[in-house]
A and B are shown apart, each in its own frame.
Chain A
Amino acid sequence: MMFSAAAAALLTALALVVVRAIRGPSVFDRVLAGNTVGTLAILLLAVIGFLTGRPEFLDIGLTYGLLNLISTLAVLKFFRHGDLAYDPSEEAGS
């Protein structure tokens, strides 16, 4: 009962965050919305795992959390430096 309410709240929040991801306006708003979608997806996975009595879903959530961190940082690095292999030591005084 409580888990169904939590799942409904998480789905509502996901819909609102996806609207923000579509509307933008800057690329950083979209990255922020994408990261939040990842967070909400992990929570939704955990809640659905409890709802259906299959806590194995937590492993998927853990993996997804690690992937979410790496992908967000990679996208940010790409948009900041225009290059995924950017090395700050090559550029003096930056």
Chain B
Amino acid sequence: MIALALDVLSGILIAAGAFFVVVGALGLLRMPELFTRMHAASVIDTMGAGLLILGMMLQTGFDLVTLKLFFIAALFFFTAPVVTHALAQAALHEGINPALTEDRRVADDPRGRRR
């Protein structure tokens, strides 16, 4: 009974994680400029990876595999913000600024424009 409930719960978590992974990748492809794309990619790092790993944790008992999954989740938890911060800092340093609505009419910068 409890095994069945855990199975169903992990199935729901894995399905939700798969959904968020696809949504994040779609956002990465469709968003208009770099900073909104970073926002979409962070969906994969937090919701997608988190829910998928939580669902996989419920599939196993409590053993070494669970611990390894926990380490992968912790790795994502700490490295994703570091990479996002470094990326935003490097992009701002390079002169790529977030596209604002009032800038959209000017649109002389091809890097910030929708394509």
Contact = CB atoms under 8 A, between A and B. Distances in A.
Given A10-B21, A13-B24, A28-B90, 13 more contacts: A6-B15, A9-B19, A13-B25, A28-B91, A32-B28, A33-B28, A36-B28, A39-B80, A40-B21, A50-B56, A65-B72, A76-B90, A79-B94
Given A3-B14, A35-B83, A72-B83, A12 B28 contact: no
Interface residues of B, number: 50
A17 B31 CA distance: 12
Nearest to A21: B28
A35 B76 CA distance: 11
Interface of B: 10-11, 14-15, 17-19, 21-22, 24-26, 28-29, 34, 37-38, 41, 44-45, 48-49, 52-53, 55-56, 59-60, 65, 68-69, 71-72, 75-76, 79-80, 82-83, 86-87, 89-91, 93-94, 96, 110-111, 115
Main SS at interface, chain B: helix
A47 B96 CA distance: 37
Nearest to B53: A46
B94 A31 contact: no
A93 interface: no
Contacts of A76: 86-87, 90
Q: How large is the interface on A (under 10, 10 to 19, 20 to 34, 35 or more residues)?
A: 35 or more
Interface of A: 2-3, 5-6, 8-10, 12-14, 16-17, 19-20, 23, 25-26, 28-29, 31-33, 35-36, 39-40, 42-43, 46-47, 50, 55, 58-59, 61-62, 65-66, 68-69, 72-73, 76-77, 79-80
